[in-house]
Chain A
Amino acid sequence: MKILTGNDLGTGDVIWWAGDGWSRQVGDSVDVGDKGEDLARAEEAALRVVGAYVIDATVTAEGVRPAHIKDRIRALGPTVRPDLTLKPNDADAGNWVI
């Protein structure tokens, strides 16, 4: 599947296109098919996102998983600071990115 990601213009937070808006959870991502580039331009123009781009992902038992490790780290947070990730109570959360 193709999913759309970028950073919130104001906060810089990593965000994922969830169909009707942006989410901070990669698991909320929806398949944007071939509409990703158009969506990115429209959302950037609306000042809701910066640096938006389309990536490949798969749906696994654990949910949506970006194909590349860089985007999995974006989805989770820094693996060396579990307390600053989206799963602060899961000390092994970093294993998900590998």
Chain B
Amino acid sequence: MYRYDSYDQSIVDARVEEFRDQTQRRLAGQLTEDQFKPLRLMNGLYLQLHAYMLRVAIPYGTLSGRQMRKLGEIAAKYDRGYGHFTTRQNLQYNWIKLADAPDILAELATVEMHAIQTSGNCIRNISSDQYAGVSADEVADPRPWAELLRQWSTFHPEFTYLPRKFKIAVIASEDDRSAMRLHDIGLKLVSRDGRTGAEVYAGGGMGRTPMVAPLIRDFVPEDEIVSYLEACLRVYNRYGRRDNKYKARIKILVHELGVEEYKRQVEEEFAHMRTLGLNPPTEELDRIRAYFAGPAYETGLEDSIDRSDPAFALWVDRQVAAHKQPGYAIVNISLKPRGGIPGDASAEQIALVAELAEQYSLDELRVTHAQNLVLPHVKMADLHAIWQKLDEAGLAEANLDLITDIIACPGLDYCSLANARSIPLAQKLSERFAAADRQKELGELKVKISGCINACGHHHAGHIGVLGVDRKGVENFQLSLGGSGAEDASVGQITGPGFSEDGVVDAIEKVTNLYLEQREEGERFLDTYRRLGMKPFKEAIYG
């Protein structure tokens, strides 16, 4: 894992003290809310429905045990005993007092964490593949690039006031576990003729105008990736719309200019950038890369496990993924217990996962954009012990990528932007489809729920997506089908008129029943939908 150097630490510490001063001035009446709001937002502090909410950055979703433990301690000490893992691999606290916020940031700084750029019209937390560094199919570990981009984008003076927020994802596998093409910029590391570089996608996103990012360059050499992104951002910063926040994201610029014209302008800027010598020094990338060198795995380990306990075997089959190192496994920890709140974890659960990471996963864990956790370096021989501890803590649900592994934003229960509650719907679906056999029968089926058009719950990318809207003060839910955030990225299509909360649960059941009737050998729900189209599903729902 990356460790802060003295420069990293000093800028984070300085930011904490700066914010402490700003907060004191606000509480003393020396700053108005209009003056203070942009300052607190730059430090991840929102004012939500019930209280202040603090969003903590988890760069590319990677944490050490001590960082995770600190997150749990903060939840217990300053919040109400829990945290919420988000679709940007971050963590949010929902019940923060303003006067406590600087102390929380100071505590985070002691474990090399912060909340910088988790809000505002800047480059947000860089996201990446939760299997980075441990999946066999990657070209390279994408995290050194994500870390380089974190350093490049942190306090970047030119990109602090972009037309709108800006999200970047970096992956290095054919399998996209990061919704890469639904980002403002997506990088996919590739190898061409023995050289490492990146495919660059630009202009994707969700929100009110969902778009899958087109490829704008099929290869940027690794030593020029930062310069190329600088060129992409410069064109966006110069021409992105600032007159209308709903048309300010880069996807609108790319769409309005056309992909070819945007590419032409970026190439022109890139040619200019190349003359400035702004590529980061090779030594710096090497320095960063050294932190992500593979850990010292043991060799000669057993690959087989005792599957005599059926509950354990069920969990292994669903939650454990193949590791590149023989004798090791990747453990997915579900934060979607039956009837639970997607992404929520208690302080005790957070502390337990920190302990498991330290004891069994070479002191490392990951947060996924699907609001789950991952222990990336687990010996096969330790799986049973881990499962037992997870089970005791209510963390052994076996539902990865199944219908109850639901992504849901906080919705109207917490969020001041939301129009409808997402979580109660997720809970009802979780109960309706709770039977393990039924979930297994349905297979991979990604349900994603957003409480408003901003789409934090990724509903556009759901095989089944639900958008909560406000119909004259009453919650209403639009259903969409056929979205995907994976390597076959697509935007879901709305089925028709919306439903009540119970109505949309029934409608989803009808949709899944039709899938079971109509599917062909080996087809996932998404495949059947794509083969049949919307019509039969619509008929099943509306009659």
Give the B-binding residues of A (Cβ under 8 A): 7, 9-14, 44, 47, 50-51, 67-70, 73-74, 77-81, 84, 94
Instruction: Determine which residue in B27, B29, B98, B475 has the highest number of CB atoms from chain A within 10 A of its CB, and name it.
Output: B98
Query: Among B48-56, B104-112, B477-485, B508-516, which stretch is in contact with chain A?
Result: B48-56
Apart from A9-B98, A78-B414, what 19 extra A-B contacts exist at CB < 8 Å?
Answer: A10-B27, A10-B98, A12-B47, A12-B50, A14-B51, A50-B47, A68-B473, A69-B412, A70-B49, A70-B412, A73-B412, A73-B421, A74-B50, A78-B50, A78-B94, A79-B421, A80-B413, A80-B423, A80-B427
18 contacts between A and B (CB under 8 A): A9-B26, A10-B97, A12-B52, A12-B95, A12-B96, A14-B49, A14-B50, A14-B51, A69-B475, A70-B418, A73-B412, A78-B94, A79-B413, A79-B421, A80-B341, A80-B421, A80-B424, A81-B413
Query: In the complex, which of the residues B29, B80, B97, B418 contacts A11, with contact meaning CB atoms closer than 8 Å?
Result: B97
CB within 8 Å: A-B pair count: 68
Instruction: Determine which residue in A11, A44, A47, A80 has the highest number of CB atoms from chain B within 10 A of its CB, and name it.
Output: A80
- The answer on a CB contact under 8 Å between B424 and A77 is no
- The answer on a CB contact under 8 Å between B49 and A13 is no
- The answer on a CB contact under 8 Å between B80 and A84 is yes
- Asked whether B276 is an interface residue with its Cβ less than 8 Å from the other chain, the reply is no
Contact residues of B: prevailing secondary structure: mixed
In whole angstroms, what is the CA distance A74 to B412 when docked?
9
In whole angstroms, what is the CA distance A70 to B473 when docked?
9
- The answer on a CB contact under 8 Å between A69 and B473 is yes
Contact residues of A: prevailing secondary structure: loop
Q: Which residues of A contact B33 (CB under 8 A)?
A: 44, 50-51
Q: Which residue of B lies closest to A13 (CB)?
A: B51
Give the A-binding residues of B (Cβ under 8 A): 26-27, 29, 33, 47, 49-52, 80, 94-99, 341, 412-414, 416, 418, 421, 423-424, 427, 473-475
Query: Given A44-B33, A51-B33, A68-B473, A11–B51 Cβ distance below 8 Å?
Result: yes
Q: Which residue of B lies closest to A49 (CB)?
A: B33
- The answer on a CB contact under 8 Å between A74 and B49 is yes
Q: Which residue of B lies closest to A44 (CB)?
A: B33
In whole angstroms, what is the CA distance A80 to B52 when docked?
18
- The answer on a CB contact under 8 Å between B51 and A12 is yes
Instruction: Quote the shortest CB–CB distance from A26 to chain B (angstroms).
Output: 13
Query: Given A47-B29, A73-B49, A78-B50, A12–B413 Cβ distance below 8 Å?
Result: no
